[in-house]
Amino acid sequence: MSQIHQLRKGSTPLLILSVLLPEKKYGYQIMRELEQRSDGYFTMTAALLYPALHELEQEGLVESEWESDPGCRKRKYYTITTSGRAALQESHAEWQTFVANLFKTLENPLPHPKETPK
């Protein structure tokens, strides 16, 4: 019960964690990659991304460090943590459960339809 209300809202943290899985990345890079991965379906905006990243960091699911490569402006790189990987797997599974239940509920009629009670 506790989780299903939460996962109805917010696929954003899930998407962010998934792109951080292979290697550390910075915010702008995450935005671009999410757009590319979804062929433009998910338009991740800065106002959605950065607060989400800060919250993920507060929860200990990602860690950040500033890096200043010469010739580039400073970038804040985010690394997924061990608990971040666990949270990603869990959230992914919860989404699958939610979706399965949604479509089951939408498509399946009642097993034994009862007439309207008096």
Partner DNA sequence: TCTTATATATAATAAAGTTATATATAGGAG
Partner DNA sequence: CTCCTATATATAACTTTATTATATATAAGA
Q: Give me the least distance between CB of 24 and a second copy, in Å please.
A: 10
CB 17 within 8 A of CB 88: yes
Q: How many CA atoms lie within 13 A of 14 on its CB side?
A: 15
Binding partner of 73, given DNA, a second copy, none, CB within 5-8 angstroms per partner class = DNA
Residues near a second copy, by CB under 8 A: 1, 4, 8-9, 11, 14-15, 18, 22, 29, 33-34, 36-38, 41-43, 69, 71-72, 92, 95-97, 99, 101-106, 108-110, 116, 118
**24 makes contact with DNA (CB under 7 A):** no
- Alpha carbon of 47 to those of 8, 31, 59, 116: distances in Å? 20, 11, 19, 49
In angstroms, the CA 30 to CA 5 distance is 26
Let me know: does 61 contact 87? Beta carbons within 8 Å. Answer: yes
Site string for DNA, 58-97 (x = CB under 7 A): -------------xxxxxx---------------------
CB of 70 vs DNA, minimal distance in Å: 8
